[in-house]
Structure 1
């Protein structure tokens, strides 16, 4: 198996059935004596679905509820998520209004929108809020003026934080130009639902669904994705499927190479969450998702990178060196976004590469260490990489390479 996690199929299956009962607002399944609540709790935590699991487990008869410590941890995580949701929701509306008042067209994305499809908005966990802005530089100034600290900057988005709860990502575009969907989503503003009174716009439902699939595919292709993103798709369709233009959506998905992927997703979310069938937890693709974390595992990031860059002149050594150099020396475009001095005077790039790494190593101390041999120099011909490639093929993602 690509992931040797020892969690039993019985616990994996019960976790999915409990989640499904909450999503469908039905009675929770009664656990048998073989259910290990500690394993269910670990799954809920790693998948960022503790609030959902607690909400379902709390409806069980007292004699069947989780063990004392597990129940207490789940309850605490549910309460914490409630606080996070309340604070983020209020602050999001405030910041959207501020952006709008400053003449910036802004479009809320992902979790802050998706949570409205759940039975209770706080059941859908969030750690940040994503906003697409038509003037990113001006939007960044608004966040800085409100006391936010810019944590990171990339070609596509910048991250801002005020405290442990208030965390935003400001996007200038939705998908990278390497994605087949880049051209389609470049026109997302033209198709958006506007408001005569404000500059706050909404993505239309068709685009929301297509973007949901594109975003999920991207995570799977670059390291994996957990159960929560699949639950998002299920809840969106449960609430909005009758309002979608399926013909137009099918044409777009086919043009961006996601038509087979959609068929896979529909089959999987129906199996996992509809309550009509026993959830599949034994297939390689199910375990790939269930035994990852919310956004996959770093190991899969290296494996998928090897698959994408495999070719006649590609070797584990050349791929590994390329990854290391790419990590050590960020692109000039990225450095210009990160440092104003480099943006003005490009020849300062070498100096600020040193500044960048001093900041990472000694100020933020956020550098992750990996086993070079087993990660950076992983081979696309390794058994693990071949298995991951087979999983991608089953998901309908192989045509995206």
Structure 2
């Protein structure tokens, strides 16, 4: 059996497991030709191995205990991680409140509470929107809580605390490069309301949150790709708030943001996967693409999508690929300003900074050189054309 067929069988069964958990049902039996180790690897790549364990545990008879160990370990780790994240984020939100800093938790920290159990919806990092004028005070607050600064500048600042806490404090909901969506959400602070019992913690309306959920998914799809969990988030949120977010107003807002076609596709796929609506018309190539991804897609997809965005139609593929390789070696100023903030005031030092970046890579990150060379080699005309079709 080839890997593509293995992935199709594992993907279909993984989705049936997750759907059974969402509907509180017993999942179908494990297909005879399905290797549970392969299923575990696929589930892990999509960050749903812990949730899949809940489904497998409902089978009668139970799967071989030895083959269940990896899933059970994922469930234990998921429970511990969710508990730690919940406690830490509550402390962060309280500290931001005490320091009069406007904030709003986003994405996974909100949507996990709409799953049967919050630990079923794991988070690699926790996103919190902060008033951009208060980022310095937010930074001081995070340091006082024992976090280290991993990265500052650009769309968000990143903080870390051992063993599992990764916090992203966002200046904006959507990066500026996605100008249409960035503009739509630029005034979000004017549309939010205070969270009950707080003075500085805010929350979006159900409609705005849903549009943001779809916009964030589109951002990943446009980058490295998106996975099963994101499609499941769409179904879980729509199922919970169906009355509020199904209607002409939401459709009009999707049209306004350019998300209409994408939202329709993802909603249809979520209904087919998690509500057994087999009459939904979906693009099977898009579904296969998402199954082949991980939670946030892959570096290979990201390179192809970036190449498509940055390439002019009039350029031949060979010329475009050469220019693209040079841009990877010598990044543009916005990226370099994140690494070297002083470039904002002294842009004439770009050549020096390129040289410093190159030396750092050679000394400390040689594997990155091999990785980038591999990605450039992977970039072929046929793969670019296939991706264009999927994106359309």
Report the equivalent of 1:148.
147
- 1:242-294 Cα distance to aligned partner (Å, 9 max, x none): 12363221111101211121211121111000135499999221110111111
Q: Which has the higher contact order (CA 8 A, sep 6+)?
A: 1
Report the equivalent of 1:128.
125
- 1:140-181 Cα distance to aligned partner (Å, 9 max, x none): 222123222221234101111111311101110011223221
- 1:31-82 Cα distance to aligned partner (Å, 9 max, x none): 2423321221111111110111001101112x342x3333101101110111
CA contact (8 A) 1:222 1:300 kept: yes
In the superposition, relative to structure 1, how do residues 80 and 387 fare at CA in structure 2: closer, same or farther (>3 Å)? same
CA contact (8 A) 1:51 1:81 kept: yes
Structure 2 stretches lacking a partner, 5+ long: none
TM-score by length of 2: 0.89
Q: What secondary structure, in the 3-state scheme, does the structure 2 residue paired with 1:228 have? A: helix
In the superposition, relative to structure 1, how do residues 205 and 365 fare at CA in structure 2: closer, same or farther (>3 Å)? farther
Question: Per-residue deviation at 1:11?
Answer: 2.5
Question: Per-residue deviation at 1:8?
Answer: 4.7
Q: Distance in 1 between matches of 2:391 and 2:341?
A: 40
Report the equivalent of 2:108.
111
Report the equivalent of 2:189.
189
2:78 to 57, 76, 81: 81
Question: Per-residue deviation at 1:183?
Answer: 1.1
Q: Distance in 2 between matches of 1:339 and 1:184?
A: 30
More helix by share: 2
Write out aligned runs for 1:28-47 (5 A): 28-47=27-46
CA contact (8 A) 1:302 1:376 kept: no
Report the equivalent of 1:308.
309
Question: Per-residue deviation at 1:374?
Answer: 5.8
Question: Per-residue deviation at 1:327?
Answer: 3.5
In the superposition, relative to structure 1, how do residues 361 and 54 fare at CA in structure 2: closer, same or farther (>3 Å)? farther
- 1:89-139 Cα distance to aligned partner (Å, 9 max, x none): 110011111112212101111111111110000000111101110022321
Q: What secondary structure, in the 3-state scheme, does the structure 2 residue paired with 1:150 have? A: strand
Aligned-residue CA RMSD (Å):
2.8
CA contact (8 A) 2:107 2:127 kept: yes
In the superposition, relative to structure 1, how do residues 5 and 144 fare at CA in structure 2: closer, same or farther (>3 Å)? farther
Q: What secondary structure, in the 3-state scheme, does the structure 1 residue paired with 2:201 have? A: strand
Range moving further from structure 2, 105-114 or 21-30:
21-30
CA contact (8 A) 1:149 1:162 kept: yes
Q: What secondary structure, in the 3-state scheme, does the structure 2 residue paired with 1:369 have? A: helix
Structure 1 stretches lacking a partner, 5+ long: 394-401
In the superposition, relative to structure 1, how do residues 117 and 368 fare at CA in structure 2: closer, same or farther (>3 Å)? farther
Q: Distance in 1 between matches of 2:355 and 2:90?
A: 39
CA contact (8 A) 1:316 1:378 kept: no
